[in-house]
Each structure stands twice: as structure tokens, then as C-alpha cells.
Amino acid sequence: MEGGSQIHGERLTAWEDKERKVNPTGITSRGARESAVICREIRNGRIRPGFVGIWNPTRRPIWMRRLGRAGYRLQVIYDRMEFYRDRR
């Protein structure tokens, strides 16, 4: 399948308006670059997922600070994933 696996499809960090859902249930990232884009999209009010899953535990203080300012709280750490939940 061109453009991504059948399970994940294409993983975009520059969503077009027609592809972006304002309030998705959850969103995950695969690394620091995608995590930074997700944090920026949340901060700018373009998306507001119920939870955010980040795969990059070595940079936890950065994501905790960025997502904390946006109203998220670290909920659980599982294996190599961190899950933040919206406090609103």
C-alpha cells in the first residue's frame, strides 16, 4: 500500500483542513518531530484530542511542560509510551 501501512495509513503532521478533526478521541506520535507538531497544533487550538500518546520517554520533561500548559496531565506510562489526558 502506497503512502503508509494498511493499519496506520498515512501519518501526517501537516494536516489539511479536510483531514483535521478538531476533537479526536486520541492521537499518537512516533517521535520528537511529530510530538512537537502535535503540541503546536494543540497550543494553536487546531486540535483538542482527549488523550495524547507520545513515544519518546527520554524527553518527558519537555512534553510534560508543553502539554501541561495546554491543559493535559501525564496519566500513564506504559512500556515506551506516555499517555497524557485532557483535564478539561
pLDDT in tens, 3-27: 544 444 455 555 666 666 678 889 9
CA distance 82 to 29: 10
The pLDDT of residue 17 is 65
Q: Is the separation of the CB atoms in 49 and 20 below 8 Å?
A: no
For residue 58, what is the DSSP state? G
Q: Is the separation of the CB atoms in 32 and 59 below 8 Å?
A: yes
Task: Enumerate the domain spans of the chain.
Answer: 27-86
What torsion, rounded to 10 degrees, do the Cα atoms 83, 84, 87, 88 define?
A: -100
pTM: 0.75
